[in-house]
Structure 1
Amino acid sequence: MLQAFESAAFAAWPAQQSLDLLGWHLRLDRGYTKRANSANATAQSLPLTASDVQAIENHFRRSGLTPTFRLTSFAPIEDSDRLLDACGYRACDESLVMTRSLAGFVDGSEIAFAPDAAAWLDAFAHASGKRGADQAVHLEILRRITAPCAWAVHASDGPSPACGLGVLVGDQLGLFDVATHRDHQRRGLARMLCGGLLGWGARRGAQTAFLQVVAANSPAIRLYESLGFEIAYRYWYRVPTT
């Protein structure tokens, strides 16, 4: 079941290129987010050797990318994690995957929707403060999504103070890029958006919802727990120290 969440997350956040090597799922893009630019451990991953690490590194370097490994708490990766440490890879960005059932879920939150990915990204840039050259790559990823999407924004006379993205993959709903502008935080906007997205997914047949959150982001974790999400597993990255 946990691997099913991984597969849904990959489909919901598609990389420009992907391939499987030794049971590791390599995702290669143009450097925006580690999710789309990493070698991912799976339930089928074989323990790595030093030559395997070199082979995976070569794939990333040929694409002009920093070799990045993503390890999960449920895959058989202990030896590989220790090997990557010995090869000079440091652990970073520990994150949680949280899930909840949508059986019988009903939510009356009223949210608005941007007409397309570009308009939604403008709202996200305002709410998150993330602007710059990476926006073009971000937009490419969003436009690459083939699953049904909910480009949720908070209705406002001016720029939207909050936004979030829902992607429906089969009967699983992924929540991504939930953001609230710093001047509008602690007003319940994120809760309203998430509730509206969960309702959107449930009405379209989603049975389960999942999301990814940085393990150090305690306020966000408390919000998601209050919405019924529970920790399913953890993941972290290994990146070169130099």
Structure 2
Amino acid sequence: MAEDKVRLGIIGLGAEGGMYAKFLDAEMVPNMRIGAICDILPEKKEEADAYGVPFYADYKEMIDSGDVDAVVTTVPHYLHPEMGIYALQQGIHALVEKPVGVYTKQANELIEYAASKPELKFGVFFNQRTNPLYKDLKALMDSGELGKLRHTSWIITTWWRPQPYYAQSEWRATWGGEGGGVLVNQAPHQLDLWQWICGVPKSVFAKVAYGFKRDIEVEDEVNALVDFGDGATGTF
């Protein structure tokens, strides 16, 4: 890199991408700045111009431009794997928003390719692991002070979204855009914390409700019963 600050390329200037841009513009990340912005909507160029950075309509052109050292993908979930892989192929660090992908095969392809590039930084945005509450809980569980895990009940009710949230983007809460509902949007953070702290279940039985409380086509409520395989059980 030709300067001290990492130049971040933001792919997708919607709600999430806009937050990244505002945080960086406000210098909330000392060692990083906006390098360029990419969005398929031409009207987003005006916002990019306001930040004084180059604008691209094609993410590959932005990655190949020399304007960025790293990228973040704030786009529909199906696109995360291909964008992450392309960035890494070009020697660009990559941070993909959760979920890493919709299909297990594509997600694994990205993870495996990233592992083959140890000189580059790659990550999935599971920021809840940095929360002191969860870090302390993880340390407590790992210490064995509480004994062997027998049962876990993980209930989350504060991450709900109102109807206007789903209306802000056409791809939100659709099978073709998001690939699902709460399980691939709000729940990934909780699922990550749950398995990080308690372990990965061996079997899962779940019941989901589609468009239960919101006018959407995908699931907006989930209840699951899991078996950890060693006598321990859990609910989510």
The answer to whether TM tops 0.5 is no
Relative contact order (C-alpha < 8 Å, sep 6+): which is higher? 1
With normalisation by structure 1, the TM-score equals 0.29
With normalisation by structure 2, the TM-score equals 0.30
Computing the radius of gyration over CA atoms, which structure comes out larger, 1 or 2? 2
